Amino acid sequence: MRRLMALVAALAVLAGLTGCGMEPADPDTAQESIQVIAMDTVMIFKIYGEKSTHAAYAAEDEVRRLEALLSRTDAGSQVSALNDAGGQPVTVDGEVLRLLNAAGLYSEVTGGAFDISIAPVVSAWGFTEDAYRVPGQTELDELLTHVGMEHVHAETADSAWLDEGTRIDLGGIAKGYVTDRIAEILEENGVPRATVSLGGNVLAWGDRPDGTPWLVGIQDPARPDMADGFAGYLSLKDAFAVTSGGYQRYFEENGKRYHHIIDPATGYPADSGLTSVTVVADCDREGNGGLPGQGTMCDALSTALFVMGEEKALEFWRTSGYDFDLVLVTADGRVVVTEGIADVFAPDEASGYSYETVS
């Protein structure tokens, strides 16, 4: 079936979803739960309100529309058209242009740590095709000559082009943009509360039916296959939480683990001393007119800050001017929480991590 009723709660949203089998305290008890498989991700939407069913399926339709528009692996998408154009201009929608420009902005402000043109290097490692291999240095050096946002051109009103040899993948920003668009759909339909989980991207909309925040679990990178293996928990209302980690996709060869988050500076999996980064930001209940918003920002920054490592990530948090907070899980057994969310973060004492708050 194209649309499936969700039978299980998304792991990333714990008490907020698992507790919803009880009748909500809110007078408006209408709710819709659906599971969607798209963008190589299992997505769970649980939506409340009189228009919950309409909003849930409108959100699914939007996911599928954006997947067809933005997927690198869909031969009919505009991203594929750009990749296959051999350096020639391609007519693209305004949304694609906005995302390309947003990607350029996040690449610039993170010193290139976020870069959608890393796509051919990711493919060389086999992560796009699930055909894992360790590429040779000569191959990587050649591919890296085509990496960099200076090779991506989106300056016109209705077209874009890539320098020959450059390929892009919007996977590091697309699910964030999808959550921004879903937030707009929730607002347009007067949805009072909802939880949306797109794998590592979570939107906590409003609060739970009993008035308490939604509880969002941060997966413990050391225990990725354990349903109850968490590094900590966030209590969130009207917020995005996006996690990137090397545990999400990886392979091992000759006793060494290689994960899918590639450092654009080296062409190798980022060796930053971090095992996961969670970026948290408030969502705009008034909508953003279709522009890339906070969800998009969180998605891009979670990848970039993972590549940058703890020290540079915290410096960026302190000085960038962007409004967000962080939970960093380090390879040496620490969980670092920025002060803006310290009061809504709870450690998982069973995890064995030490915890610290930074300002």
Q: What is the mean pLDDT of residues 177-195?
A: 95
What is the distance between the alpha carbons of residues 147 and 32, in angstroms, rounded to a whole number?
Answer: 43
Over 70: is that where the pLDDT of 94 sits?
yes
What is the distance between the alpha carbons of residues 234 and 219, in angstroms, rounded to a whole number?
Answer: 11
C-beta of residue 353 within 8 angstroms of C-beta of residue 231: yes
What is the distance between the alpha carbons of residues 309 and 301, in angstroms, rounded to a whole number?
Answer: 12
Averaged confidence pLDDT in the chain: 90
Handedness of CA 91, 93, 98, 99 (dihedral sign): negative
2: confidence class by pLDDT, cuts 50, 70, 90: very low
DSSP state of 118: G
pLDDT for position 28:
57
Over 80: is that where the pLDDT of 143 sits?
yes
248: confidence class by pLDDT, cuts 50, 70, 90: confident
Angle ∠(99,60,247) on CA atoms, nearest 5: 65
Q: What is the pLDDT of residues 296-327, one digit of tens each?
A: 999 999 999 999 999 999 999 999 999 999 99
**Three-class SS of residue 156?**
coil
C-beta of residue 202 within 8 angstroms of C-beta of residue 183: no
pLDDT for position 157:
87
User: Which residues on adjacent β-strands are paired with residue 162?
Assistant: 152
What is the distance between the alpha carbons of residues 156 and 219, in angstroms, rounded to a whole number?
Answer: 41
Q: What is the pLDDT of residues 33-54, one digit of tens each?
A: 999 999 999 999 999 999 999 9
Question: What Cα–Cα distance (Å) separates residue 101 from each residue in 85, 175, 259, 357?
Answer: 19, 16, 27, 34
C-beta of residue 140 within 8 angstroms of C-beta of residue 330: no
Q: What is the pLDDT of residues 285-302, one digit of tens each?
A: 655 444 479 999 999 999
Q: How far apart are the first and last CA of the chain?
A: 49
129: confidence class by pLDDT, cuts 50, 70, 90: confident
Residue type for 155, please?
E
Sheet holding 345-347, edge to edge: 214-219, 230-236, 345-347
29: confidence class by pLDDT, cuts 50, 70, 90: low
Q: What is the pLDDT of residues 206-246, one digit of tens each?
A: 999 999 999 999 999 999 888 889 999 999 999 999 999 99
C-beta of residue 13 within 8 angstroms of C-beta of residue 240: no
C-beta of residue 234 within 8 angstroms of C-beta of residue 341: yes
Strands 41-48 and 354-358 turn out to be unpaired
Helices 294-308 and 171-188: angle between axes, nearest 10 degrees = 150
C-beta of residue 195 within 8 angstroms of C-beta of residue 181: no
**Three-class SS of residue 293?**
coil
Is the overall model pTM greater than 0.75, yes or no?
Answer: yes
